[in-house]
Amino acid sequence: MGPFFVSGENMGQANAQLQAIIEPAVTALGFELVGIEYQPQGRHSVLRIYIDHEDGIDVEDCAEVSRQVSAVLDVEDPIRGEYSLEVSSPGIDRPLFTAEHYERYSGALAEIRLRSPLEGRRKFKGRMHGIKDDAVVIEVDGVEYTLPLDNIEKANLIHEW
């Protein structure tokens, strides 16, 4: 599953379409597309794009990507209705979108929220131990849980000071 958070039955199709449109524009500018969040809320919908670069991200980078992606989205028009486009760095509490992200940050603290409960709970906060059989392994209070990737609604790293 690629980087995209949206609820509804068309998630896979919407993900593939937005990824195919946005990723080439982002990578052509020399940035990594970390992930996409689309929050449909009528006229107040938000399409948030997270980008990264080995040298970090600044406001100018976000503006440059915003201009390029906005132009591409205007031509392709993949989202019906009005929405705001936001381009951001992942930040300290980096969002996690792909299996590669969970594997890359194995050993880090994370907070994961599921779409549907597992063993009576939807929120898990603990140390990740990588990927196993298309699922994230996370240890919470000494207990290991295996969270299927396709059931993850949202996940973020927790910065350790």
Q: What are phi and psi of 90, to 5 degrees?
A: -65, -30
Confidence of residue 44 (pLDDT cuts 50, 70, 90): confident
Token pair listed for 56: 């970090």
Q: What is the largest CA-CA distance in the chain?
A: 51
CA distances from 34 to 16, 31, 94, 119, 142 (A): 15, 9, 9, 30, 30
For residues 156 and 159, give the distance between their C-alpha atoms in angstroms, rounded to a whole number.
9
- Write the pLDDT tens digit of every residue in 80-116: 778 889 999 998 889 999 899 999 999 999 999 999 9
Predicted pLDDT of residue 1: 34
Region 137-159 average pLDDT: 95
pLDDT of 11 higher than 60: no
Q: By the 8 A CB rule, do 89 and 56 touch?
A: yes
Q: Is the dihedral of CA 88, 92, 95, 100 positive or negative?
A: positive
Quote the pTM value: 0.79
Region 30-38 average pLDDT: 91
Token pair listed for 76: 């392709």
pLDDT of 2 higher than 60: no
| Domains, the chain, with CATH or none | 11-88 (3.30.300.70), 99-157 (2.30.30.100)
